[in-house]
């Protein structure tokens, strides 16, 4: 019986939300207590009922030395399924401390996709050492072959355990085969039907198979509407296909056209979450979820984009420098200037977020760009006029200078209009250049809105106020 199927003896919890899954603050404190006094038996009793996902969460929440101590005391309880659930950065550190034979034994019962997830972030020499320790030669070959595919490809995502049968087999033959075979996938939803060249030509859902009489051939009940996935395509494309067509599973083919694997919906759910997180991090200039990394590595990962931001800030400062004399003659300009730039930046970020998401979901295409650009231009203009009236009125009243309110309002309209346009133009240009829009669009947009905001505001001030 799996960990998830066991009846869990849970410690008391202090709130209903904390009882929704097995890991509780009380349990974490109890585990830390057993780690400090070295009570191995008590530790195993505490964590044995946990689901693998909860056990992975527990390991992530422990501190560095506590983690290594825990893994050593828990032994076989930290199996392959637990390693597959652990966040990448934490798993990498743990696996590096384990013997290659122990890791190989832990992942030997996993499906190929989960075994690949455990190994893919390790250094190649360590990967090879663990692969060599795998007892099953065919499993070793399958995992190694999957690791040879690009990192974010369907080949990395697929599992190689699947059922594919010829179209002339009957329902009875299929059922008997599955009953007698010891080498079936742990979870599967469809039987893949192949031709003589082992190319997928259809699928038979398990529910249809079980409702059909034994003599009926698979070709007579199969779905021919297949969405075949080449192993080299990006996993974002895979996620789009599953979302677009409500797929449960899909066959993966190699360069020869033969089926070499299958991708299931549970893996695609993980991909959708990871891609959404990745876009969010990139828009913020953070390389990935570095909450579990040491401070030095975290600082290094964020340094590059902070350096780029420094360069763009210097560019904006050079624009301000050109109007130094104007600012000296009217101090109010220095007080009001950040408002214009800030509003433009926020307006542009709104458009940018929508655009990046629309590109990822394929809602934004070459044919719809002009229409969306027109809409965002109108939105920027409308919001610009509204906020121009608000900020211009405040500035005019505050300083008793109606002309100053006019300058602030005019700069607000210009910057919010430009922000709306470039919030779409920048990600679209990057996308057409085959650059991930989430990576650089935020920095470029900030530069545009700062430069245009300062230039418009100080330029109008120089024309009408000084």
Look up the pTM and report it.
0.67
Which residue, of 263, 283, 303, is where some domain finishes?
A: 283
Residues 277, 203: one domain?
A: yes
Asked if the structure places residue 314 within a domain, the reply is yes
DSSP letters for 215-279: TSBHHHH-B-----EETTSBHHHHHHHHHHHT-SEEEEE-TTS-EEEEEEHHHHHHHHHHHHHHH
Q: Which CATH number fits the domain that encloses residue 89?
A: 1.25.60.10
- In this structure, are residues 383 and 416 in contact, taking their beta carbons and an 8 Å threshold? yes
**Can you tell me the distance from the alpha carbon of 248 to that of 205, in angstroms, rounded to the nearest whole number?**
10
Residue with tokens 């190319």: 199
Give me the pLDDT at residue 7, please: 35
Give me the pLDDT at residue 89, please: 79
From residue 409, alpha-carbon distances to 26, 340, 342, 452, 456 in Å are 57, 9, 14, 14, 10
Asked if the structure places residue 171 within a domain, the reply is yes
Residues 172, 120: one domain?
A: no
Q: Which domain holds residue 50?
A: 3-152
- Looking only at Cα atoms, what is the longest distance across the chain? 94
Residues 276, 380: one domain?
A: no
Task: Decide: helix, strand or coil at residue 204.
Answer: strand
Residues 308, 435: one domain?
A: yes
Residues 266, 348: one domain?
A: no
Asked if the structure places residue 289 within a domain, the reply is no
Which residues, including other chains, have CB under 8 Å from residue 73's CB and lie 6 or more apart?
A: 35, 38, 40, 43, 44
- Give the torsion through C-alpha atoms of 58, 63, 69, 73, to 10 deg: -10
Asked if the structure places residue 159 within a domain, the reply is no
Residues 439, 352: one domain?
A: yes
Which residues, including other chains, have CB under 8 Å from residue 315's CB and lie 6 or more apart?
A: 447, 450, 451
**Can you tell me the distance from the alpha carbon of 285 to that of 303, in angstroms, rounded to the nearest whole number?**
9
Q: Which CATH number fits the domain that encloses residue 414?
A: 1.10.357.20
Give me the pLDDT at residue 130, please: 92
Q: Which CATH number fits the domain that encloses residue 227?
A: 3.10.580.10
Residues 103, 210: one domain?
A: no
Residues 67, 117: one domain?
A: yes
Residues 136, 170: one domain?
A: no
Residues 242, 308: one domain?
A: no
**Can you tell me the distance from the alpha carbon of 414 to that of 4, in angstroms, rounded to the nearest whole number?**
58
Give me the pLDDT at residue 289, please: 54
Asked if the structure places residue 446 within a domain, the reply is yes
Number of domains forming the structure of the chain: 3
Residues 363, 447: one domain?
A: yes
Among residues 316, 270, 323, which one has the least CA distance to residue 446? 316
Residues 422, 383: one domain?
A: yes
Give me the pLDDT at residue 279, please: 65
DSSP letters for 116-130: HHHHTTS-HHHHHHH
Task: Decide: helix, strand or coil at residue 12.
Answer: coil
**Can you tell me the distance from the alpha carbon of 443 to that of 262, in angstroms, rounded to the nearest whole number?**
39
**Can you tell me the distance from the alpha carbon of 3 to that of 48, in angstroms, rounded to the nearest whole number?**
8
Give me the pLDDT at residue 152, please: 87
Among residues 391, 393, 409, 411, which one has the least CA distance to residue 401? 393
DSSP letters for 167-188: TT-BHHHHHHHHHH-S---SS-
pLDDT averages per 10-residue partition of the chain, 466 residues: 37 44 84 90 91 91 87 89 88 85 89 89 89 88 92 92 95 94 85 95 95 96 95 90 90 95 89 71 58 60 67 79 78 86 88 84 82 91 93 92 92 93 92 80 86 91 84
Tell how far CA 430 is from the center of its chain.
Answer: 19
Which residue, of 256, 283, 310, is where some domain finishes?
A: 283
Asked if the structure places residue 290 within a domain, the reply is no
Asked if the structure places residue 174 within a domain, the reply is yes
Which residue, of 283, 307, 334, is where some domain finishes?
A: 283
């Amino acid at each position: 019986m799996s960990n998830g199927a066991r009846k869990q003896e849970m410690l008391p919890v202090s709130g209903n939300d904390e009882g929704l899954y097995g890991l509780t603050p009380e349990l974490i404190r109890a585990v830390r207590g057993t780690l400090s006094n070295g009570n191995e038996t008590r530790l195993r009793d505490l964590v044995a009922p946990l689901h693998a996902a909860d056990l992975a969460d527990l390991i992530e929440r422990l501190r560095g030395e506590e983690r290594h101590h825990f893994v050593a005391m828990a032994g076989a309880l930290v199996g392959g399924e637990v390693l597959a659930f652990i966040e990448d950065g934490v798993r990498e550190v743990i696996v590096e401390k384990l013997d290659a034979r122990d890791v190989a034994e832990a992942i030997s019962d996993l499906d190929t996709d989960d075994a690949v997830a455990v190994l893919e972030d390790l250094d190649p020499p360590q990967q090879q050492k663990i692969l060599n320790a795998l007892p099953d030669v065919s499993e070793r070959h399958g995992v190694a072959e999957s690791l040879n595919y690009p990192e974010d490809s369907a080949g990395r995502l697929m599992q190689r355990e699947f059922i594919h049968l010829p179209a002339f087999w009957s329902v009875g033959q299929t059922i008997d085969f599955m009953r007698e075979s010891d080498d079936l996938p742990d979870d599967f939803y469809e039987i893949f039907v192949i031709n003589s060249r082992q190319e997928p030509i259809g699928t038979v859902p398990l529910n249809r198979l079980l409702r059909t009489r034994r003599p009926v051939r698979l070709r007579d009940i199969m779905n021919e509407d297949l969405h075949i996935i080449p192993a080299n395509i990006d996993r974002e494309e895979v996620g789009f296909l599953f979302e677009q067509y409500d797929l449960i599973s899909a066959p993966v083919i190699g360069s020869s056209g033969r089926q070499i694997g299958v991708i299931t919906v549970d893996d695609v759910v993980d991909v959708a979450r990871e891609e959404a997180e990745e876009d969010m991090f990139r828009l913020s200039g953070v390389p990935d979820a570095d909450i579990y990394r040491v401070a030095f590595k975290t600082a290094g990962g964020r340094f590059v984009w902070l350096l780029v931001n420094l360069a763009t800030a210097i560019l904006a400062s050079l624009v301000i420098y050109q109007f130094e004399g104007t600012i000296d003659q009217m101090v109010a300009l220095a007080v009001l200037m950040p408002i214009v730039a800030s509003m433009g930046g926020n307006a542009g970020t709104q458009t940018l977020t929508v655009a990046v998401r629309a590109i990822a979901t394929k809602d934004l295409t070459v044919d719809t760009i002009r229409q969306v650009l027109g809409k965002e231009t109108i939105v920027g203009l409308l919001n610009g006029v509204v906020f121009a009236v608000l900020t211009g009125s405040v500035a005019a009243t505050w300083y008793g200078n109606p002309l100053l309110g006019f300058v602030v309002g005019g700069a607000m309209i210009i910057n919010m209009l430009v922000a709306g346009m470039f919030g779409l133009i920048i990600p679209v240009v990057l996308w057409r250049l085959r650059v991930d829009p989430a990576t650089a669009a935020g920095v470029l947009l900030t530069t545009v809105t700062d430069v245009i905001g300062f230039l418009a505001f100080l330029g109008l001030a120089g024309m009408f106020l000084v």
